């Protein structure tokens, strides 16, 4: 990729595809997301929104690229932490797995305009149950996505700094 803006656009497209895949898995394949899965979905949507908004920053300037890297990294790091936590939780024996808590639809039902965005947080799955896509557990796919985002955004930032300096 030749420009930082193209990296942000690629991240936006990847996040849009991951979000679509998340909804496809739930509403077409019938997989039931757990509270941690929903947190990862929200982190992917946040990466999508932030990377798309960062396209408005002056990416030709080092400060704009650094700001974009920091802003995109926040939801990506949060999502990576959540995915790694779920991978760890799923590695425990079933009797030692902690509860993942109440479903998000229960926790957030009194929020404003909840009926408009309920489909994003709907799901009652168990965090300890492993769901596979192409033989890989879903939280591993999430962790790979968030790692790719972090590597792309910071790798291109450092590459452009070396070229300029």
> Per-domain residue ranges for the chain?
1-163
Contact indicator for 134, 142 with CB cutoff of 8 Å = no
At residue 149, the pLDDT reads 97
At residue 165, the pLDDT reads 55
At residue 1, the pLDDT reads 56
At residue 41, the pLDDT reads 93
Burial tier of 143 (Cβ tally within 10 Å: 0-12, 13-18, 19+): buried
At residue 79, the pLDDT reads 97
Which CATH superfamily, name and number, covers 1-163? DsbB-like (1.20.1550.10)
At residue 105, the pLDDT reads 60
pLDDT tens by residue, 114-144: 666 666 667 777 888 888 888 999 999 999 9
25 alpha carbon, distance to own chain's centre:
15
Residues of the chain with pLDDT under 70: 1, 101-109, 111, 113-121, 164-165
C-alpha–C-alpha distance, residues 146 and 64, integer Å: 21
pLDDT tens by residue, 97-107: 877 766 656 55
Give the global pTM.
0.87
At residue 107, the pLDDT reads 58
User: Which regions of the chain does DSSP assign to beta strands (E)?
Assistant: 132-133, 136-137
At residue 13, the pLDDT reads 97
Cα angle 158-162-163, degrees, rounded to a multiple of 5 = 115
At residue 120, the pLDDT reads 66
């Amino acid at each position: 990729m030749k420009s930082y803006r193209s990296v942000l656009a690629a991240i936006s497209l990847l996040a849009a595809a991951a979000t679509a895949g998340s909804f496809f898995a739930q509403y077409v394949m019938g997989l039931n997301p757990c509270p941690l899965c929903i947190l990862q979905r929200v982190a992917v949507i946040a990466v999508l929104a932030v990377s798309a908004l960062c396209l408005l920053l002056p990416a030709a300037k080092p400060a704009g690229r650094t700001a974009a890297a920091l802003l995109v990294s926040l939801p990506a790091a949060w999502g990576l932490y959540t995915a790694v936590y779920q991978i760890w939780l799923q590695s425990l024996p079933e009797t030692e797995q902690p509860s993942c808590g109440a479903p998000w639809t229960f926790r957030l039902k009194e929020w404003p305009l909840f009926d408009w965005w309920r489909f994003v947080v709907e799901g009652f799955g168990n965090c300890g149950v492993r769901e596979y896509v192409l033989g890989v557990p879903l939280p591993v796919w999430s962790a790979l996505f968030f790692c790719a985002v972090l590597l792309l955004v910071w790798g291109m930032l450092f590459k452009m700094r070396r070229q300029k300096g």
